[in-house]
Amino acid sequence: MSAVIILGTGLAGYTLAREFRKLNQTTELKLITTDDGSNYSKPMLSTGFTKGKSADDLAMQSAEYMAETLNAQILTHCKVNAIDSDAHTIELDSGETLEYSKLVLSLGAEPIRIPVEGNGSDKVFSVNDLSDYRIFRESLPEKGRVVILGAGLIGCEFANDLRNGGHSVSVVALCEQLMPGLIPEAAAQAVQSSLVDEGVEFYLGQSIQSMTQEQDELTVKLSSGETLKADLVLSAIGLKPRTALAAQAGLAVNKGIQVNPLLETSHQDIYALGDCAEVSGLNLQYVMPLMACARVLAKNLSGSPTAVKYGPMPVTVKTPACPLVTAPPATSAQGTWQVELDGPNVRALFTDGKDLHGFALTGSMTSDKVQLTRRLPSLL
């Protein structure tokens, strides 16, 4: 009897495996990963400097431990080259072919990369997994100078985290405010002001034109002509779902791998979840949607068809300098932002005058999260 095979051992893959084993202890289960299969919490990657954690500290369990716990076979440092959906097989880079009864793609997302002129490109890092974190942390000198490219959620979290770890931080971004699309200007200004108070410098509305490495110093030239001295550049301009393998196999792909509310792709017995999946048009790269999908997919793989439902899912941003919770309105929502200000404490509601469609809360206003979440419409 062929196995249930999960591609990926990130938060999505391991959460699904746990949920599946709660319902089914006997079906053969295999997980395949390109890394060492360590179990860790990805959200902790942007708090590691604050807590003084090395990559080994963040790794909670080894692949061997997870394999024993899950009664599963975990193939590490292994790449899948192709999927044959007709034959229900996958081909590994070793040349081995494995059969599956059900195949799950939990491939995650990969950093968006942009080319920059100059000889300093090897000083550009991104942190998207534990291996990235290890390389970045080991490359950054004590009290190092970091230029962060991008002022979205991840860029802001790392700015706060690196400052807490004793590093100098400059944030460069094309956007005119922090986290555009997630929060209104008033909330963005509250977070920015708090981070500036912590020592973070911002260069908004600008891009990096070139990076020049001379001996141990990196010179970063901005579009304004200004130059910044740095040890490393951390690119945090966003993630794109990993869809290449699915597209090569002929699966329907848009922003992510397209799946219906049962998490089924366009090909029979192939599913997707997590950052790589686009569920009924939504690609939500956050923990709450991932967990909801893992619980539902475990039931589907166990023979109990269940559709995923997304209730309201506010996002807590890890910027302790200015606590932030946001529930961005859907792009189709009609309304305006109604803002209350009390210093760094912002209560911004997106409303059409009758119904609430989103909110952003900073500082002490985050205590309103629960009551406001109850008023929001479901996402799916």
Contact 319, 47 (CB under 8 A): no
Mean pLDDT of the chain: 96
pLDDT band at 136 (very low <50, low <70, confident <90, very high): very high
**DSSP summary character for residue 330:** P
Q: pLDDT tens, 102-130?
A: 999 999 999 999 888 999 988 999 999 99
> Are 199 and 168 within 8 A, CB to CB?
yes
Please name each of the domains of the chain with its CATH number.
3-45+58-110+239-301 (3.50.50.60), 113-235 (3.50.50.60), 323-373 (3.30.390.120)
Backbone region of residue 192 per phi and psi (left: phi > 0; alpha: psi in -120 to 50; beta: other values): alpha
Q: Is 215 exposed, middle or buried (0-12, 13-18, 19+ CB in 10 A)?
A: exposed
With contact defined as beta carbons under 8 Å apart, do 271 and 102 qualify? yes
| Tally of residues, the chain | 380
Stretch (H or E) spanning 233 = strand 232-235
Is 62 in contact with 76 (CB distance < 8 Å)?
Answer: no
pLDDT at 369: 98
Q: Beta-carbon neighbour count of residue 113 at 10 Å?
A: 12
Cα–Cα distance measured from residue 24 to residue 29, given in angstroms and rounded to the nearest whole number: 10
DSSP per-residue letters across 129-145: SHHHHHHHHHHSPTT-E
Higher pLDDT, 115 or 305: 305
- Packing angle, helices 287-301 and 11-23, rounded to 10: 40
Q: What average pLDDT score do residues 124-138 get?
A: 97
Residue 334: per-residue pLDDT: 94
Summarize pLDDT for 37-70 with one digit per residue, the tens: 999 999 999 999 999 999 999 999 999 999 999 9
Q: Which amino acid is at 248?
A: Q
- The count of C-alpha atoms lying within 13 angstroms of the C-alpha of 325, restricted to the half-sphere facing its C-beta, is 18
Average of per-residue pLDDT across 19-24: 98
Of 109, 93, 100, 86, nearest to 8 by C-alpha is: 109
pLDDT of residue 380: 87
- Residue 1 pLDDT > 60: no
The confidence band for 86, taking pLDDT boundaries of 50, 70 and 90, is very high
Contact 264, 296 (CB under 8 A): no
Exposed/middle/buried for residue 154 (C-beta within 10 Å: 0-12, 13-18, 19+): buried
Please state, for a pLDDT cut of 70, what percent of the chain lies above it: 100
